Amino acid sequence: MKELVCEIQVRTVLQDAWAIIDHHLVYKKESEIPSSLHRKLNSLAGLFETADNQFEIIRSEREAYLNSINESIHSNNFLENELNLDTFKSYLLWKFPNNKIENSEGQLNMIYNDISNLNLRNISEIDTIVEKHKTTFNRIQPKIISFLNESLPSSLIVDISISLNNKDYFKNSNYSLELEEIINNV
């Protein structure tokens, strides 16, 4: 096996899609392709290349955006960032550095989706709610941890804080009856 030479092709999803289309549509020899189809295939290849370039630009812009969020953590305007999944995750890491974000995969997304229905504009609105209910939350936290039999992820801390703040939000949550009872008995 040491003597064997191989080629590894690395390509984007769009390049792979083009290769599949090209394989299925192109004739054995280029001279067999009708000119009208040849032009359309070349045009389609150009569109794939353009889309691929745009995806790369968007990826780079997102990386720059995430860097700007991380840099703003060390400034006074971090809490003024627009509330979205990226800033929410950064907030959780900033506010609760010793907690994991979620106990199970998808928990963060599920909680963020519920929170996004509240039409909160920025991180400071989340932080205000968390701070407002900090004392109450700390009082019920041991019962919640005992019930869950695991540590509380930061996303659930925020979710419960919002539930303490907004009874309509709480009614629409997916808490178990036991957890509801703990929160209702505050």
- Calculate the dihedral angle through the C-alpha atoms of 185, 145, 92, 113, rounding to the nearest 10 degrees: -60
Q: What is the mean pLDDT of the chain?
A: 85
Q: What pLDDT, on a 0 to 100 scale, did the predictor assign at position 177?
A: 61
Reply yes or no on whether the pLDDT at 27 is more than 60.
no
Residues 6+ apart with CB under 8 A from 59: none
Token pair belonging to 83: 């509330």
Quote the pLDDT of residue 28.
54
pLDDT attached to residue 24: 63
What's the pLDDT at 29?
A: 59
Between 31 and 33, residue with greater pLDDT: 33
Q: Residue 48: what pLDDT?
A: 83
Sign, CA torsion 81/83/89/94: positive
Average of pLDDT values for 80-107? 94
**Average pLDDT over every residue of 142-154:** 85
Of the listed ranges 17-31, 61-75, 165-179, the least confidently predicted one is: 17-31
Tell me the two tokens of residue 40: 């359309």
Give this prediction's pTM. 0.74
What whole-number distance in Å separates Cα of residue 93 and Cα of residue 20? 42
Q: Which residues contact 137 (CB under 8 A, 6 or more apart)?
A: 130, 157, 160, 161, 164
Confidence of residue 166 (pLDDT cuts 50, 70, 90): confident
Which of 161-182 are b and which e, b meaning 16 or more Cβ less than 10 Å from the residue's Cβ? bbbbbeeebbeebebeeebeeb
Q: Is 182 in contact with 143 (CB distance < 8 Å)?
A: yes
pLDDT, average across residues 82-97:
96
What is the predicted pLDDT for the residue at 35?
79
Percent above pLDDT 70 for the chain? 89
